[in-house]
Structure 1
Amino acid sequence: MAAVAPAAEPLAAAASPASAMAALPAPAGELSAEEEACLQELERRLEENPEPAVSEHAREDRRCRLLRFLRAWSFDVNAAFKNMHEHAQAWQAYRMDAITATDELDERSCFYVCGVDLAGKPTLIVRPGAHTQTSQEDSVQVARR
């Protein structure tokens, strides 16, 4: 019988917030020459063909945002550029800028905001079993709240 590897330590117990932050990618200033060239190419392409406006972009440093997309796509400029445009279009299609504090769902609903993650971004609890569908339109409206 083969030996079984020990189970991985749960994330909550494995790391303090400080050690979790240490596992994040290198800061923006510590790029290789190739990564810096990819960043400049993405900036050039966005100057030629800007992505649709999204209000949340004003809250995030532009360089950090571009690097986030580049890192997500392993510094593939074409994929990052395409994804940035798709993200902004989806943001507008779902009217994310129209969401207000009164749209916040309560904890008895099928989903609600519950605190923030280590980066300070909101976390969402989703409980699909808590929703009793009365019609297809009802489910769509719950998801759009």
Structure 2
Amino acid sequence: MTEEKKIVEGTATNDCGQQVPVGTMNTNQALSLPQGMDVSLSHPDREAGADEFMSRDELRLLTEPWIEPVGYRFPAPISEDSADRLVKAKAAARNVLEEIIASANEAGWATREIVVALIEAANSLNDAASADSDPDHADDPDVSDAVQAQIGHEEQFD
């Protein structure tokens, strides 16, 4: 039985900063494009020409068969105070991350490589959230001030 190979459209950024078409290809071909090439790829489950593009890493996460969603849940916030919410969120995140790292260790991943991968994934999600113009998230607190306030106060990643 053959595996279905989904088709994506690819664009690359040229020297002038413009997006130029690379062509249509299956997801394996798209993931094999040279690493130095700045590419955007269409979503493999959307109609052609839908203009919903993603990075190579996002496509890999979406299509790699061995990557499964992790089923950890966060507790609901119980405070309205932003400083208290940040403390609780950090504690909950740390608990979940410790479980993810333990699970990754059991699967054969080194702690350091998983921590680096988690940091890069978090930065990517933060960048996407910063670019999100969704009005539903307009009330989300800006954590940059809270992060700055933690620097020098014995946090692990100062």
Q: Given the two structures, how large is their TM-score scaled by the length of structure 1?
A: 0.28
TM-score normalised by structure 2 residue count: 0.27
Comparing both chains, which one has the higher relative contact order based on Cα–Cα distances under 8 Å and sequence gaps of 6 or more?
1
